Amino acid sequence: MKLTVIYDNETKNGLESGWGFACFIETEDHNILFDTGWDGHVLLKNMDKLSIDPENIDILVLSHQHWDHIGGVTTFLNRNPDVDIYVPSSFSSNLKREIASKGKGKLYGIKTPQEICNNIYTTGELGSEIKEQSLILKSEKGLYVLTGCAHPGLSSIIEVASSFGDVTGIFGGLHDSQEYGLFKDMQLIGAGHCTSHKDAIRKMYPKKFLKIYAGYSVEL
């Protein structure tokens, strides 16, 4: 399994930056796009530079209904309308209808933790004010959690993920979380996008911390 950040506030290797987040997940069975960032044209340009073919993606997962994570959906679906799409069930009916009208695949409204495909699970819809789903990636080394913004709080996300096994790492936007103790037993902390306290996390876990950016890639 391989993760590649396609869209982030920070970038390297000649890619374009933008406020938001998107990550490409390659497995033996599926190619998955997690979120689309704010600007679909930037998303597609970065994919081209990374030699990622949008038409080879078969699953699109959207973490939550904030524009910096779903703004590129229409542009992406114009290139590849055949993906199956997984969104939190709380997405507005108008938004779900619009997304479904752009694509030819199935649209799934996710409420509870469940398997999306082999070795890929969703935490289900979490949070009280801002509803959000994160992904749980099962590898030989343990479970990795992929977050959009972690609005529901890391404790809630990790609690659900832990029901599937031992969590060995986390990757994505961690917002303003200060639940630093939750990282103690992890081997990888990949913090990007909206993470407010990167310096504090780095100081506490210098050997585990990774500052991610558009163009960053890691094999699990």
Q: What is the pLDDT of residues 56-113, one digit of tens each?
A: 999 999 999 999 999 999 999 999 999 999 999 999 999 999 999 999 999 999 999 9
* Average pLDDT rounded to a whole number, residues 33-43: 98
> Could you tell me the residue ranges of all domains in the chain?
2-219
Instruction: Please write the tens of the pLDDT for every residue from 112-144.
Output: 999 999 999 999 999 999 999 999 999 988 999
Q: In what order do the strands lie in the sheet with 120-122?
A: 114-117, 120-122, 135-139, 142-147, 167-173, 188-192, 209-211
54: alpha, beta or left? (left if phi > 0; alpha if psi -120 to 50) = alpha
Return the percentage of the chain with pLDDT > 70, whole number.
100
Which pLDDT does position 13 carry in this prediction? 84
Question: Which of 89, 143, 150 is closest to 120 using CA atoms?
Answer: 143
* 3-class SS of residue 181: helix
pLDDT-derived band at 170 (thresholds 50, 70, 90) equals very high
Give CA separation, 176 vs 7, 12, 112, 200, in Å: 20, 24, 25, 11
Given a contact cutoff of 8 angstroms between Cβ atoms, the answer to whether 64 and 149 are in contact is yes
Residue 30 binned pLDDT confidence (cut-offs 50, 70, 90)? very high
* Region 2-219: CATH code: 3.60.15.10
Q: How confident is the model over 145-167, as a mean pLDDT?
A: 97
